[in-house]
């Protein structure tokens, strides 16, 4: 479950007017959910025994195997994380003294189905492992790609200038481009990143 969870992508989800980043992994042995509003990070990890106990408390009229509960939870959460939530399912989110509570209301076998994810503040190592380190690696990879593309654009501009000096002319003026301004691009990029962060 842990190794599978690490490979799960983050997704943007909305609960009411609040937007979160979330990732989850469901197996027959339990589930792990990680959710963040980019100020705090919460998580819940529940094994089959914990799922069985909570299902009895929340769904007294339902008598199904634990694996069926986990399968149902996966079928409710995965479309939500994929940006295609089931319209027959209601999600609500509440801040609690101990963390974050995510309430799910749906149906199973024609009966009401309820579930509560009780998420607690994630430990520093989990935040680092699943959020900080992947973001830093992605940031470094993007910086490298930007450097590559910047170098390529400058080479293309030099090539075009060489053609012009040799007497070449464009057959269609609309194809003309302005020389790439590296410094202006970097300043605009930093400004956009900062405005996006706020």
CATH number at residue 150: 1.10.287.450
H or E, element range at 165? helix 133-165
Q: How many domains does the chain contain in total?
A: 2
Domain range for 49: 1-122
Q: What is the pLDDT of residue 197?
A: 55
CATH number at residue 38: 2.170.210.10
Query: Among 103, 122, 141, where does a domain finish?
Result: 122
Residues 32, 62, single domain; the answer is yes
In this structure, is residue 45 part of a structural domain?
yes
Residues 2, 34, single domain; the answer is yes
In the numeric block, the tokens 């997704």 are attached to 11
- Whole-number Å distance between alpha carbons of 107 and 124: 36
Query: Among 122, 148, 163, where does a domain finish?
Result: 122
Taking only the tens place, the pLDDT of each residue in 130-176 is 888 888 998 899 889 988 999 999 999 899 888 888 888 878 878 78
All residues at 6 or more sequence positions from 114 whose CB lies less than 8 Å from its CB, including other chains: 58, 59, 103, 104, 105, 106
Q: What are 168's two structure tokens?
A: 């070449």
Strand ranges for 28-162 from DSSP E: 30-36, 41-47, 90-96, 99-108, 111-121
Q: What is the mean pLDDT of each run of 10 residues along the chain (198 residues)?
A: 82 86 92 93 94 90 84 89 85 89 88 92 92 89 90 90 84 82 83 68
């Amino acid at each position: 479950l842990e190794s599978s969870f690490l490979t799960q992508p983050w997704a943007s989800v909305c609960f009411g007017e609040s937007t979160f980043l979330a990732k989850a992994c469901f197996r027959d042995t339990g589930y792990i959910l990680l959710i963040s509003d980019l100020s705090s990070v919460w998580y819940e990890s529940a094994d089959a025994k914990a799922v069985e106990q909570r299902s009895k408390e929340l769904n007294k009229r339902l008598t199904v195997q634990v694996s069926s509960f986990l399968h149902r939870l996966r079928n409710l959460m995965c479309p939500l994380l994929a940006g295609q939530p089931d319209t027959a399912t209601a999600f609500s989110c509440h801040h609690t003294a101990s963390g974050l509570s995510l309430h799910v209301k749906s149906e199973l076998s024609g009966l009401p189905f309820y579930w509560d994810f009780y998420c607690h503040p994630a430990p520093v190592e989990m935040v680092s492992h699943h959020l900080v380190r992947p973001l830093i690696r992605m940031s470094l990879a993007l910086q490298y790609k930007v450097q590559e593309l910047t170098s390529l654009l400058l080479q293309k501009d030099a090539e075009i200038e060489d053609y012009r000096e040799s007497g070449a002319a464009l057959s269609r003026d609309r194809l003309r481009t302005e020389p790439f301004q590296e410094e202006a691009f970097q300043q605009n990029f930093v400004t956009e990143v900062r405005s996006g962060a706020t």
